[in-house]
Amino acid sequence: MRLDEGIGCELMLDGKKSIFSGMQATGTLTLGNYLGALKNWVELEDEYQCFYCVVDMHSITVRQDPAELRKRARALLTLYIAAGLNPEKNCIYYQSHVSGHAELGWILNCFTYMGELNRMTQFKDKSAKHADNINAGLYTYPVLMAADILLFQSDVVPVGSDQKQHLEIARDIATRFNSIYGDVFTIPEPYIGKQGARIMSLQDPDKKMSKSDENPNASIYLMDDKDTVIRKFKRAVTDSDNQIRYSEDKPGIKNLIEIYGLATGKSVAEVEAEFINSGYGDFKLAVGEAVADLLTPLQTRFDELQKDKAYVDGIIKSNAEKANYYATKTLRKVQKKVGFPERIR
């Protein structure tokens, strides 16, 4: 089959449904990103054709230091692999290496209303935070994200609650386009992760653990060493009744029970039973040790991969080619639909 032949919404991904997700290379990934996203992604690789993108084009909507961005993007891509995503089965690549993102993004800009973009809460938040640089890219950020998703005819998109509105607009844009041109895009659904998807801040357990939190004690970073991990859990904010019990009115302890459960594979009831006679001090230490044990192999693998430049380079090249292959199929079809002239060969 020629690359530019339209084949309906199907991308012929071995009959599998496809998943797309992206992460920004800004900030340092946290335990929340790992337990809430990455770790679960590993289990999807047989059932779905998965695309995991380092969205470096989104990153420049706020000013970046170029060397730093490049370094962080590489680290994030390496971390995807270190976390266990098999790069033969999952497509792990940089957004900027596949020009279809930008090309489809432009077309979709012409199918998105300013009124829709004006409603985006993340745009409002970010423009308040970067009042000196409210650029057009920040404004059309959701359109590029829609292009990311629609380019791969994604069936499901694992996103956190903060990205629901962006997925919603992607669905609206796709539906609008389809209503004009026929069935071009698959309408993506949110992927609802399993229990434990929401890890909370260690300093304010009513807030999600975030890689952009200014207080480093609020988050466990994936590269934190054992001492740091244990120290942060010791300082975690809890209540004062000293009972390890899972309850909505004990958000700090509830969060620690969930983290310990996810790190050890134990259920809430098992965790409660294990610590029935313990106080917070012992429990926090146990959580710290369990998390450090979870992170150590990931860190070791990350270091190995960072040293093996040729191997990672090979993945970057081959996976970008694979992503580009699928992206081009959708793009050519869209270009044809909107009336761009055919390419002459």
Task: Show which residues are catalytic.
Answer: 126, 208, 211
Q: Is 210 in the site for ligand TRP (CB under 6 A)?
A: no
Q: Is 30 in the site for ligand TRP (CB under 6 A)?
A: no
Q: Is 149 in the site for ligand TRP (CB under 6 A)?
A: yes
288's CB contacts (< 8 A; 6+ apart) are 229, 230, 231, 232, 233, 234
Of 51, 75, 148, 222, the one binding ligand TRP by CB under 6 A: 148
Which residue is at the shortest CB distance from ligand TRP? 22
Q: Is 20 in the site for ligand TRP (CB under 6 A)?
A: yes
Q: Is 163 in the site for ligand TRP (CB under 6 A)?
A: yes
Burial 120-134 (b: 16+ CB within 10 A, else e): beebeebeeeeeeee
105's CB contacts (< 8 A; 6+ apart) are 140, 143, 144, 146, 147
Nearer to ligand TRP, 20 or 41 (CB): 20
Dist CA 316 CA 60 (whole Å): 20
Of 18, 24, 90, 324, the one binding ligand TRP by CB under 6 A: 24
Q: Is 57 in the site for ligand TRP (CB under 6 A)?
A: no
Contacts for 202-206: CB closer than 8 Å, 24+ residues apart: 202/232, 202/233, 202/235, 202/236, 202/237, 202/255, 203/235, 203/236, 203/237, 204/237, 205/237, 205/251, 205/252, 205/254, 205/255, 206/251
Burial of 335 (0-12, 13-18, 19+ CB in 10 A): middle
Nearer to ligand TRP, 21 or 112 (CB): 21
Q: Is 159 in the site for ligand TRP (CB under 6 A)?
A: yes
Number of residues that bind ligand TRP (CB under 6 A): 13
Stretch that binds ligand TRP, among 1-9, 157-165, 211-219, 241-249 (CB under 6 A): 157-165
Of 36, 51, 58, 286, the one binding ligand TRP by CB under 6 A: 58
Q: Is 185 in the site for ligand TRP (CB under 6 A)?
A: no
Q: Which residues bind ligand TRP (CB under 6 A)?
A: 20-22, 24, 55, 58, 145, 148-149, 157, 159, 163, 166
